[in-house]
């Protein structure tokens, strides 16, 4: 059975309120009852002592002298006429009774001690009764038995009880209705969020949930939901980019291979022609292999796959090796690569990870810095931190793109995509590798004035092995 959250909240609140209110009512009832009986007992005791003070003796028989009547005694409206008094001698025979007793007698319940107040049945009603011994010349001369009718007291307690019994369900109903209204008001935006989410699901992910005026949990939920929608939209966009890219990047080398091979089989050719065509096919195969390997590296990174340990080598050795491997590419793009070492000492880093990161950064600098300008690689240190910056004089990147360039398949708007081949995966892979070893890639760039990518990494001890991370020996993308 489906139950709305509003109803569940209101029922839970009403149930808790019912227990609390019942406890409060019971406590109030018991306190009022105790207070009324306590006041009655105090009145009974004080009036009994007052009558005891007026006890006189005639021939050793006690009697009560005239007491000035009072119209009202006590907080619950008792009068002297409602106060019963009886004197018994030492043998228990009544020797004096107040006029309001008429022909009736007060009988003491022997289950109770002297001065102990208790409830007794008398004259078709209930009374609070008390017995106090009469002392004369140090000898007991009898007892004073006093009583006050408490039927009005019971009636008052019954009235209070009935008021509570009638008020209790009414109060619970009011609390339930109020809690239901407040709960509905509290989750109104959640209901709107559900309806909006359903509408977005049925239409498109470009729409967003409106934010409430109050910055509370519903506001945070709406912001989080909108961020989730943005991520879904970005994922859809990347998926379209990926489909378009894979379609283009895989179709091109396959088409080249097919065309070249078809030309070769049409007629016999010279050995030089075969070698030239086969070399062209091998380049396309290498390009296809490179794309597939990059996709595999990115997939392993996204899937948090684990690989073997990565040994420590000096960072300068990695940089020099990468510069040497990029020699032909730098010569092709007419770029001079210079290395400036400001470390002054040997600093060790994870080989494969740093090689992957700097390979992409240096490769991009060589490719996009084409035009005869230098690519400067500067290595420095501060404390335990190592800084390796790669500076080029290429087309640069706008600040608004800094948050995008590390996303898979993203390529900056400032580059000529027809002239510069690429996949848009290199920086994404480099960032994931940096994250795996606790490093950071910083960017500084202006459109038309080149870029500076800086790898910030803490030095690793030479003997310490680093494992459970992404390992790939990839060049730039």
pLDDT per position as a tens digit, 80-123: 667 888 888 888 888 888 888 888 898 988 899 988 999 999 88
Cβ neighbours for 190, distance < 8 A, ≥ 6 positions apart: 5, 218, 221
Listing from the earlier edge strand, what are the strands of the sheet with 94-97?
Answer: 94-97, 84-88, 139-149, 125-136, 118-122
Q: 455 falls in which pLDDT band (50, 70, 90)?
A: very high
Dig out the tokens for 68 from the structure: 């000035």
Least confident range of 192-196, 200-204, 337-341: 200-204
Q: Are residues 361 and 394 in the same domain?
A: yes
Conformational region of residue 122, where left means phi above 0, alpha means psi within -120 to 50, and beta covers everything else? beta
- The span from the CA of 315 to the CA of 304, in Å, is 25
Helix (H) / strand (E) element for 183: namely helix 151-186
**Do both 125 and 262 map to the same domain?**
no
Which residue shows structure tokens 């291979």?
257
Confidence (pLDDT) at 295: 65
pLDDT at res. 79: 63
User: Is residue 294 a contact partner of residue 427, using CB atoms and an 8 Å limit?
Assistant: no
What is the C-alpha to C-alpha distance for residues 277 and 256, in angstroms, rounded to an integer?
10
Q: Taking Cα atoms as reference points, which of 134, 107, 133, 102 lies closest to residue 118?
A: 107
Give pTM, 2 decimals.
0.44
**Which pLDDT tens digit goes with each residue over 313-345?**
899 999 999 888 888 777 777 888 889 999 888
- Does residue 190 sit within a domain? no
Do 324 and 245 reside in the same domain of the chain? no
* SS3 state of residue 203: coil
d(CA 343, CA 347): 8
Sequence-distant (≥ 6) Cβ neighbours of residue 15 within 8 angstroms = none
Q: Are 325 and 266 part of one and the same domain? A: no
CATH code (residue 88): 3.30.450
Please give the mean pLDDT across all residues of the chain: 78
Question: pLDDT per residue over 385-410, tens digit each?
Answer: 999 999 988 888 888 888 788 876 67
Domain end among 240, 271, 302: 302
Tell me whether strands 348-350 and 312-314 are parallel, antiparallel or unpaired: antiparallel
**Residue 77 belongs to what domain range?**
5-158
We report the CATH number of the domain holding residue 328 as 3.30.565.10
Pair 284, 336 in one domain: no
Q: What share of the chain is helix, strand, coil (3-state, %, to 5)?
A: 50, 20, 30
Which of 302, 331, 358 is the C-terminal boundary of a domain?
Answer: 302
Helix 151-186 / helix 5-53 crossing angle, nearest 10 deg? 160
25 and 152 in a single domain? The answer is yes
Question: Where is average pLDDT lowest: 87-101, 176-190, 355-369?
Answer: 176-190
Please, which residues have CB within 8 angstroms of residue 229's CB and are 6 or more apart in sequence?
Answer: 200, 205, 207, 208, 209
Question: Are 316 and 449 within one domain?
Answer: yes
Q: How far apart are CA 20 and CA 28, in angstroms?
A: 12
- Rounded to whole angstroms, the Cα distance separating 256 from 280 reads 9
Tokens of 267: 């007629």
Statement to judge: residues 454 and 316 lie in one domain: yes
Eight-state DSSP code of residue 182: H
Q: Clarify whether residues 335 and 292 are in a common domain.
A: no
- Number of structural domains (the chain) is 3
Identify the pLDDT of residue 238.
Answer: 67
Domain boundary among 276, 302, 328: 302
Tokens of 153: 């007291």
pLDDT at 229: 78
Using the structure block, give the residue that is written with the tokens 């060049």.
475
344 plus 283 within the same structural domain: no
Q: Following CA atoms 303, 307, 312, 316 in sequence, which dihedral angle do they give, to the nearest 10 degrees?
A: -50
Q: What is the spatial distance between Cα 339 and Cα 320, in angstroms, rounded to a whole number?
A: 8
pLDDT, tens only, 223-266: 887 888 788 777 777 677 666 656 655 666 677 777 878 877 88
Cα gap 402→427, rounded to integer Å? 11
Residues 316 and 451 in one domain: yes
- CA–CA–CA angle 454, 403, 467 (5° rounding): 55
Residue 207 lies in a domain: no
Residue 69 lies in a domain: yes
- Higher local confidence (pLDDT), 316 or 424: 316
Q: Assess whether 298 and 317 both reside in one domain.
A: no
What is the per-residue pLDDT for 258? Answer: 79
Q: Classify residue 40: in a domain, yes or no.
A: yes
């Amino acid at each position: 059975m489906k139950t709305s959250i509003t109803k569940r909240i209101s029922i839970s609140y009403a149930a808790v309120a019912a227990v609390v209110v019942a406890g409060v009512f019971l406590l109030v009832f018991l306190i009022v009852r105790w207070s009324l009986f306590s006041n009655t007992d105090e009145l009974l005791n004080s009036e009994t002592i007052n009558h005891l003070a007026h006890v006189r003796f005639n021939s050793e028989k006690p009697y009560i002298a005239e007491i000035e009547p009072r119209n009202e005694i006590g907080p619950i409206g008792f009068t002297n006429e409602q106060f019963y008094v009886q004197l018994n001698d030492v043998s228990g025979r009544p020797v004096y009774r107040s006029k309001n007793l008429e022909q009736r007698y007060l009988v003491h319940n022997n289950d109770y001690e002297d001065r102990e107040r208790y409830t007794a049945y008398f004259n078709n009603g209930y009374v609070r009764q008390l017995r106090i011994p009469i002392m004369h010349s140090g000898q007991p001369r009898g007892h004073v038995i006093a009583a006050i009718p408490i039927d009005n007291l019971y009636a008052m307690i019954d009235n209070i009880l009935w008021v509570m019994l009638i008020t209790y369900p009414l109060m619970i109903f009011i609390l339930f209705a109020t809690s239901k209204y407040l709960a509905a008001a509290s989750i109104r935006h959640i209901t709107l969020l559900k309806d909006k989410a359903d509408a977005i699901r049925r239409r498109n992910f470009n729409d967003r949930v409106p934010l409430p005026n109050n910055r509370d949990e519903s506001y945070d939920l709406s912001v989080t939901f909108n961020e989730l929608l943005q991520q879904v939209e970005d994922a859809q966009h990347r998926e379209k980019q990926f489909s378009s890219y894979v379609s283009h990047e895989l179709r091109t080398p396959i088409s080249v291979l097919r065309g070249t091979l078809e030309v070769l089989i049409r007629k016999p050719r010279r050995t030089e022609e075969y070698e030239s065509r086969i070399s062209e096919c091998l380049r396309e195969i290498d390009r296809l292999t490179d794309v597939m390997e990059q996709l595999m590296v990115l997939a392993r990174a996204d899937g948090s796959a684990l690989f073997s340990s990565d040994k420590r080598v000096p960072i300068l050795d990695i940089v020099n090796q990468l510069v040497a491997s990029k020699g032909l590419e730098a010569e092709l793009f007419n770029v001079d690569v210079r290395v400036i070492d400001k470390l002054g000492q040997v600093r060790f880093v994870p080989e494969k990870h740093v090689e992957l990161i700097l390979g992409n950064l240096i490769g991009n600098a060589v490719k996009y810095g084409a035009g005869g300008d230098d690519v400067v690689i500067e290595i420095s240190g501060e404390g335990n931190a190592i800084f390796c910056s790669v500076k080029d004089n290429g087309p640069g990147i706008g600040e608004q793109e800094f948050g995008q360039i590390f996303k898979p398949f993203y390529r900056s708007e400032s580059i000529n995509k027809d002239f510069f081949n690429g996949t848009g995966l290199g920086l994404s892979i480099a960032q994931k590798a940096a994250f795996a070893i606790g490093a950071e890639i910083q960017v500084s760039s202006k459109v038309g004035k080149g870029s500076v990518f800086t790898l910030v990494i803490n030095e690793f001890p030479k003997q310490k092995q680093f494992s459970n991370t992404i390992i790939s020996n990839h060049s730039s993308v």
